[in-house]
Amino acid sequence: MKKKFDPTTNYKITMKNVGYKPRLKTKKKDYEKLGFKSGLEVHQQLATKEKLFCHCPVGIYQNLDDYDAELIRHMRPTLSEMGTYDGTALMEFRTKKNITYRIKNKTTCTYEVDDTPPFPLNREALEYAIEISLLLKQNIVGELHITRKQYLDGSIPTGFQRTAIIGIEGEIPLKHKNVRIIQLSIEEDSCREVSDIGHERIYTTDRLGIPLIETVTYPELLTPDEVMEAGQVIRFINRSSGKVRTGIGAGRQDVNVSITGGTRIEIKGVSHISWIPELTHNEAFRQKGLLL
């Protein structure tokens, strides 16, 4: 008779096989042996009066059950310029989600729900982004090009996010080294998620379109503590400008982690920098377990 699978026992065996250690007992040489490597994408809302591509006010948040209208959309895949469908878009389409947007008239216009084209780029947001880019010692681009980044979960009604690179090739100082910055971009924030149950996903649109900057580092962070330190330095530089929003949800981090033989895994939407060391540490050992 086949032995019943016990997940707890299997977990303990895997922990032993990978040589797992608690983070506080793990040394730098242990991460070197793993081939730990990480990079950060730090998102920070800008303290502007209006949204990035329309004149709706910023910073007014509605209660989740307080709205003037609901709009239901279904995300459908379309052919790319190469004549193919995006695999992730097809996967999301197969979930058959009803995407519901709860709209408050005070904070949302027809641009947010994709019924009118974008207005001119918010110049205040652009000036703030350039200032922070210079603080990162970046080279400011000669021309600003608005591009599209796919958003397949419905958190942006258009199905894509408008974004533009402001500066490239900067650096930040850590205690024992400098870390290079790939780029700083300006982009529009997505909706706030209310719930995602079964085939129903609900968002509020009050946060949609708020200007934010995304600061991307090279994958030069070699321990979980270095990743946290880099996040703290970028946050400090952003806040030192006096041009960014603070508080819950105003800053979020996407953390990319890989080890030797593994693949790059992105931990999305880390809202507290203090969580980064434990998350990256566990992800590194999780990848090692998959390689056994």
pLDDT at 1: 54
Tell me whether residue 235 is in a domain.
yes
Distance CA 263, CA 284 (A): 10
Full domain range(s) for residue 234: 7-53+117-189+207-291
Distance CA 248, CA 282 (A): 25
pLDDT confidence band for 80 (50 / 70 / 90): confident
User: In the chain, how many domains are there?
Assistant: 1
DSSP assignment, residue 76? -
Tell me whether residue 103 is in a domain.
no
Tell me whether residue 201 is in a domain.
no
pLDDT at 131: 96
pLDDT at 82: 83
pLDDT at 91: 85
For residues 147-171, give the mean pLDDT.
Answer: 91
Token pair in block for residue 26: 């793990």
> Which helix (H) or strand (E) segment is 150 a member of?
strand 147-150
pLDDT confidence band for 208 (50 / 70 / 90): very high
List the beta bridge partners of residue 179. 172
Tell me whether residue 60 is in a domain.
no
- Report DSSP letters for 247-280, one per residue: STTTEEEEEEEE-TTS--EEEEEE--GGGHHHHH
pLDDT at 192: 92
- CB count in 10 Å sphere of residue 27: 10
DSSP assignment, residue 191? P
Token pair in block for residue 43: 């998102």
- Go through 258-292 and write b for each residue having 16 or more CB atoms within 10 A of its CB, e for each that does not: bbeebeebebeebeebeebbebbbebbbbbbeeee
- pLDDT at residue 272 is higher than 90: yes
Give the residue with greater pLDDT, 84 vs 121.
Answer: 121
For residues 88-106, give the mean pLDDT.
Answer: 88
Q: What is the pLDDT of residues 98-136, one digit of tens each?
A: 999 999 999 999 998 889 999 999 999 999 999 999 999
pLDDT confidence band for 204 (50 / 70 / 90): very high
- pLDDT at residue 228 is higher than 80: yes
Distances (CA, A) of 196 to 32, 154, 207, 237: 39, 11, 18, 35
Percent of the chain with pLDDT over 90: 72
Tell me whether residue 66 is in a domain.
no
**If 0-12 CB within 10 Å is exposed, 13-18 middle and 19+ buried, where does residue 248 land?**
exposed
DSSP assignment, residue 166? E
- pLDDT at residue 139 is higher than 70: yes
Tell me whether residue 160 is in a domain.
yes
List the beta bridge partners of residue 69. 103
pLDDT confidence band for 77 (50 / 70 / 90): confident
pLDDT at 46: 96
Q: What is the pLDDT of residues 12-50, one digit of tens each?
A: 888 888 889 999 999 999 999 999 999 999 999 999 999
Tell me whether residue 90 is in a domain.
no
Look up the pTM and report it.
0.89
pLDDT at 247: 86
Token pair in block for residue 257: 């982690």
Tell me whether residue 68 is in a domain.
no
pLDDT at 283: 95
List the beta bridge partners of residue 103. 69
For residues 67-84, give the mean pLDDT.
Answer: 85
Token pair in block for residue 174: 């850590």
pLDDT confidence band for 6 (50 / 70 / 90): confident
pLDDT confidence band for 86 (50 / 70 / 90): confident
Q: What ranges make up the beta strands (E) of 82-191?
A: 98-103, 139-140, 147-150, 160-173, 178-188
Question: Which range (76-90, 114-128, 170-184, 274-288) has the least confidence?
Answer: 76-90
